[in-house]
């Protein structure tokens, strides 16, 4: 019994220590769980980098704090978590019962207690829903900008050790959803930073966030928020669907300049991470936004903007083709191409056609669907050679290119279909597909035959 009490007291000490650290350094930007043997190496590394005056008071082997990085020993995780959970639940219960009583005097201390304990708890367990919810409840009652900022920072911090935590993402989302419009823009600005950073694993976040705060002042002064998206970070983490999803959602809040800027900025990252379809999806979202803008603003129905959209699409198509050549057999690239071609054929080329008389002097513009298809066939030909090796990338490339062309036959205007069909027959797609992936031969036969038979009767009719 006394042993239990002793260990409880020890756990409570640990919790106090953690909460003191969290309070004493509000700039902590990364949390990690550390093996006890790592403390020595961490000290060594920091020892030569940091001057001795900075040797912190927390010389214990339970926590490590320096350069705003907080390490928690894996040895104390369990008792610490239990203590944090217990303290949080008790504080929450008390807060809830007091909420029913009149007289607000006691509320503040209870509130701050809930906030302190829930923060400690979230450092240990990122998806603790009750903790997030209680924070949301308290924060939304206050409706104060600095508090919102702090909450965004907390979500960012939690994301540093759990970059895919659903709760942390939705916490920042909820904050945004309930704030008023003017506040909204400010929060959005910060959210852009957070998503930037989460996509970029939280490294330069503090630098960025501080500049975001500065920007906010500037934005307020100038009444604009165009600088909000300006940051020099890199997107480092891979396959973080939530982070990208968050950014896609932000697209609808961006100005036209920001959209164009983002399109430019994400290009380099995308060209280095072709396996990540999310970034291409983000680009599609941006491009659609540009296109929608153009379509809905009648005032912009000028040839100038038309030409701009043409250029954006053309550039993306060329860039996509270069990547397809460099990264053999990457599906995300071919899927991106499908999007580009379908918009190209259905909208860009037709829209431009209606105003094409204005473009006659522009020799660089080619909106003829026929020559577009010829170009795609050329791409198919360049992807059809399969060398003999263990790597299946060339096979994948051949399959992606062949299925892309089959898909394309459905997208183009009827007048071009017969022509394309003829050209495809000469290339013998079925043989190519069966060679690249014999396991699916029945699918290939079915696909190619179905495609041919749809055109065949009309061909015959024409001939007779």
Q: Contact residues for other proteins (CB under 8 A)?
A: 30, 32-35, 37-38, 41-42, 45, 69, 71, 74, 160-161, 201, 203, 236-238, 271-275, 326-328, 330, 388-391, 393
For residue 32, what is the enclosing H or E element?
strand 30-34
Instruction: Answer whether 69's CB lies under 8 Å from 28's CB.
Output: yes
Return d(Cα 366, Cα 372) in angstroms, integer. 8
Q: Please give the radius of gyration of the chain, using alpha carbons only, rounded to the nearest integer.
A: 29
CA distances from 455 to 33, 44, 82, 367 (A): 63, 73, 69, 25
Which residues lie across from 448 on neighbouring strands?
none
Nearer to other proteins, 269 or 307 (CB): 269
Nearer to other proteins, 201 or 209 (CB): 201
Return d(Cα 350, Cα 306) in angstroms, integer. 11
CB of 397 to other proteins, least distance (A): 11
Nearer to other proteins, 40 or 446 (CB): 40
CB of 272 to other proteins, least distance (A): 6
Nearer to other proteins, 34 or 349 (CB): 34
Nearer to other proteins, 161 or 344 (CB): 161
CB of 45 to other proteins, least distance (A): 8
- The gap from C-alpha 7 to its chain's centroid, in whole angstroms, comes to 43
CB of 243 to other proteins, least distance (A): 14
Nearer to other proteins, 68 or 96 (CB): 68
Closest alpha carbon to 436 in 398, 404, 381: 398
CB of 32 to other proteins, least distance (A): 3
Nearer to other proteins, 25 or 374 (CB): 25
CB of 55 to other proteins, least distance (A): 18
- Which residues, other chains included, contact 208 with Cβ-Cβ below 8 Å and sequence gap of 6+? 193, 196, 197, 231, 233
CB of 439 to other proteins, least distance (A): 17
Count each helix (H run) and each strand (E run) in the chain, helices first.
Answer: 20, 3
Instruction: Answer whether 123's CB lies under 8 Å from 31's CB.
Output: yes
Closest alpha carbon to 243 in 195, 275, 193: 195
10 Å CB burial of residue 234 (0-12, 13-18, 19+) is middle
Return d(Cα 327, Cα 457) in angstroms, integer. 39
Instruction: Answer whether 89's CB lies under 8 Å from 21's CB.
Output: no
Nearer to other proteins, 27 or 45 (CB): 45
- The gap from C-alpha 189 to its chain's centroid, in whole angstroms, comes to 15
Return d(Cα 219, Cα 222) in angstroms, integer. 5
Nearer to other proteins, 38 or 411 (CB): 38
Nearer to other proteins, 236 or 314 (CB): 236
CB of 419 to other proteins, least distance (A): 35
Largest CA distance in the chain: 101
Instruction: Answer whether 365's CB lies under 8 Å from 359's CB.
Output: yes
CB of 34 to other proteins, least distance (A): 5
Which residues of 205-316 form beta strands (DSSP E)?
none
Name the pairing type of β-strands 63-66 and 69-73: antiparallel
CB of 387 to other proteins, least distance (A): 8
- The gap from C-alpha 294 to its chain's centroid, in whole angstroms, comes to 25
CB of 197 to other proteins, least distance (A): 13
Nearer to other proteins, 332 or 455 (CB): 332
């Amino acid at each position: 019994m006394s042993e239990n009490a002793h260990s409880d007291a020890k756990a409570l000490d640990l919790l106090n220590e953690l909460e003191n650290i969290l309070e004493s350094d509000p700039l902590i930007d990364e949390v990690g769980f550390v093996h006890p043997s790592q403390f020595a190496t961490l000290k060594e590394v920091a020892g030569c980098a940091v001057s001795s005056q900075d040797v912190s008071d927390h010389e214990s082997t339970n926590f490590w704090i320096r350069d705003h990085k907080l390490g928690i020993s894996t040895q104390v995780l369990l008792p610490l978590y239990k203590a944090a959970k217990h303290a949080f639940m008790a504080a929450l219960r008390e807060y809830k019962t007091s909420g029913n009583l009149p007289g607000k005097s006691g509320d503040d201390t209870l509130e701050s207690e809930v906030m302190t304990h829930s923060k400690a708890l979230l450092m240990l367990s990122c998806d603790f829903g009750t903790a997030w919810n209680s924070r949301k409840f308290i924060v939304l009652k206050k409706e104060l900008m600095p508090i919102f900022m702090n909450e965004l920072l907390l979500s960012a911090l939690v994301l540093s050790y759990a970059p895919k935590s659903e709760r942390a993402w939705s916490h920042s989302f909820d904050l945004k959803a309930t704030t008023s419009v003017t506040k909204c823009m400010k929060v959005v600005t910060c959210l852009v930073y957070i998503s930037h950073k989460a996509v970029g694993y939280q490294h330069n976040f503090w630098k960025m966030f501080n500049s975001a705060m500065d920007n906010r002042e500037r934005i307020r002064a100038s009444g604009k928020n165009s600088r909000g998206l300006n940051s020099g970070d890199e997107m480092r983490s891979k396959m973080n669907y939530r982070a990208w999803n968050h950014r896609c959602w932000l697209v609808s809040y961006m100005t036209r300049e920001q959209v164009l800027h983002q399109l430019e900025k994400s290009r380099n990252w995308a060209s280095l991470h072709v396996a990540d379809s999310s970034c291409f999806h983000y680009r599609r979202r941006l491009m659609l936004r540009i296109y929608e803008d153009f379509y809905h603003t009648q005032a912009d129905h000028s040839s100038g903007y038309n030409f701009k959209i043409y250029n954006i699409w053309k550039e993306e198509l060329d860039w996509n083709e270069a990547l397809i050549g460099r990264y053999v057999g990457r599906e995300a690239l071919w899927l991106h191409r499908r999007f580009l071609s379908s918009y190209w054929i259905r909208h860009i080329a037709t829209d431009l056609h209606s105003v094409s008389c204005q473009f006659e002097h522009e020799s660089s513009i080619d909106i003829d669907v026929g020559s577009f298809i010829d170009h795609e066939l050329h791409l198919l030909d360049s992807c059809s050679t399969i060398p003999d090796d263990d790597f299946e990338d060339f096979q994948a490339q051949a399959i992606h290119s062949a299925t892309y062309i089959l898909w394309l036959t459905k997208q183009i205007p009827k007048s071009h279909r017969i022509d394309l069909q003829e050209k495809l027959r000469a290339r013998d797609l079925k043989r190519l597909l069966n060679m690249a992936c014999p396991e699916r031969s029945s699918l290939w036969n079915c696909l190619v035959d179905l495609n041919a038979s749809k055109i065949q009767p009309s061909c015959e009719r024409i001939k007779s």
